[in-house]
Structure 1
């Protein structure tokens, strides 16, 4: 049987030491349920250091990624306030930093069922997520990436706007003024609202509720791209303004 706390410690230490490690499944059998237990144990280590839960991030929200990984459902990870990027991201503290544009939802009240999550949204925004797999060569299986908190590293959001239909909002990712990715929010399960409902469903299934003030990152609207040092990144969402970050 996998030692959940030892595996969580290995990932946590790799994160803090900025060091890639072999994937966990290379040393021990790991199923999805145990991988989520490792993920939660890793988050608990962060909480013991003073970080607070700040929301949920969704992964595998494109059909192509599901097919690639051989799954038929999304995955999720947890965000803490220690992952909030602010105006800059120190990429020297990350192993394999990559960035992707996101649609973000602000939860306004406690969500007790997936059916009510949309009515609980207090705001929407354009955002970004910085991914950072802690595994060598950015290579992993499904349980590995779940255990690694779905590769969560940093995140940021722009100004909040009143809730609205975001089923086909254009998104642009620029690095140093050059467009590097363009896409539509429709790439997120056909409508990011579906990802929002999945976030509530998965959280409730794990015995958690989405809390007031939490952020849900609905998933990538484009492929993630490497995040270089000394760069200026700008993500623009149609009708949502922009969010910027430097490295």
Structure 2
């Protein structure tokens, strides 16, 4: 597993895509999570620290496309947090999608603790970057690749509690490129938060105060070009912006 994690890590560090792991080896989903753990251990060994969790395959359409009946997850580190500018140099297949982000204010030890542990909510975005050639992968491949996590940002935090059906719009250079509802995230982003707690618990991880949970995309991801200005807005949550170069 460590050798596979090294392949993925080197691909990310050098910006060079690799063949999907399942093209060269048998890889189950449980084994893929072991690769993911080894991959993130390499990041932590370089001085990064875990600051949250990201969820994937949180829409019915994506589950159907991938032939799965459950969500996936990956870890977020402080090196992934984007303030206002993002250098795309070194990224392989950058894509961006609108998100709902939760700020945790108390430890989540079981899924039943999840909703009450939310301190605030924000509109956000995630930058995805698969390390595989042609952005082509199977379920175990994407799990091993830390669910394609690359970067993320969020807007101001709000105490808003009802996030079940918020309209979201993502614009690039003032042109709308994606729109949808937070209801696309498992029917209610809070369900994704509960799923995050469940998967983290199964993986031996306790969601900590101060951590951020990205609930999953409300729309399909779109290619992220250099020299662009991106604005993501959500009803009741304001907006967040990022400029690429």
Q: TM-score, normalised by structure 1?
A: 0.98
The whole-number CA distance in structure 2 between the counterparts of 1:88 and 1:200 is: 30
**Residues 1:49 and 2:46 are matched in the alignment:** yes
Task: Report how far residue 85 of structure 1 moved.
Answer: 1.2
2:73 is matched with 76
Q: Is the 8 A contact 1:122 1:163 kept in 2?
A: no
Q: Is the 8 A contact 1:114 1:198 kept in 2?
A: yes
Q: Is the 8 A contact 1:121 1:163 kept in 2?
A: no
Task: Report how far residue 164 of structure 1 moved.
Answer: 1.0
Unmatched 5+ residue regions in structure 1? none
The whole-number CA distance in structure 1 between the counterparts of 2:27 and 2:224 is: 30
1:59 is matched with 56
Task: Report how far residue 163 of structure 1 moved.
Answer: 3.8
- What's the secondary structure of 1:91's corresponding residue? coil
**Residues 1:117 and 2:127 are matched in the alignment:** no
**Residues 1:208 and 2:210 are matched in the alignment:** no
The whole-number CA distance in structure 2 between the counterparts of 1:65 and 1:239 is: 26
Partner of residue 138 from structure 2, selected from 137, 141, 162: 141
Partner of residue 173 from structure 1, selected from 165, 170, 179: 170
Partner of residue 219 from structure 1, selected from 213, 216, 219: 216
Partner of residue 87 from structure 1, selected from 78, 84, 89: 84
**Residues 1:103 and 2:100 are matched in the alignment:** yes
2:10 is matched with 13
**Residues 1:131 and 2:128 are matched in the alignment:** yes
1:27 is matched with 24
Task: Report how far residue 116 of structure 1 moved.
Answer: 1.2
The whole-number CA distance in structure 2 between the counterparts of 1:243 and 1:148 is: 26
Q: Is the 8 A contact 1:103 1:219 kept in 2?
A: yes
- What's the secondary structure of 2:215's corresponding residue? strand
The whole-number CA distance in structure 2 between the counterparts of 1:19 and 1:118 is: 40
2:196 is matched with 199
CA deviation vs aligned residue, 1:94-129 (integer Å, no higher than 9, x gap) = 100000000000000111110111100000000000
CA deviation vs aligned residue, 1:177-209 (integer Å, no higher than 9, x gap) = 111001000000011110000000000011111
- What's the secondary structure of 1:92's corresponding residue? coil
Q: TM-score, normalised by structure 2?
A: 0.99
Dislocated runs of 4+, deviation >3 Å: none
Unmatched 5+ residue regions in structure 2? none
The whole-number CA distance in structure 2 between the counterparts of 1:163 and 1:121 is: 10
2:185 is matched with 188
Task: Report how far residue 25 of structure 1 moved.
Answer: 0.6
CA deviation vs aligned residue, 1:189-242 (integer Å, no higher than 9, x gap) = 011110000000000011111000000000000000000000000000100000
Task: Report how far residue 245 of structure 1 moved.
Answer: 0.3
Task: Report how far residue 92 of structure 1 moved.
Answer: 1.5
Aligned Cα root-mean-square deviation (Å): 0.5
2:150 is matched with 153
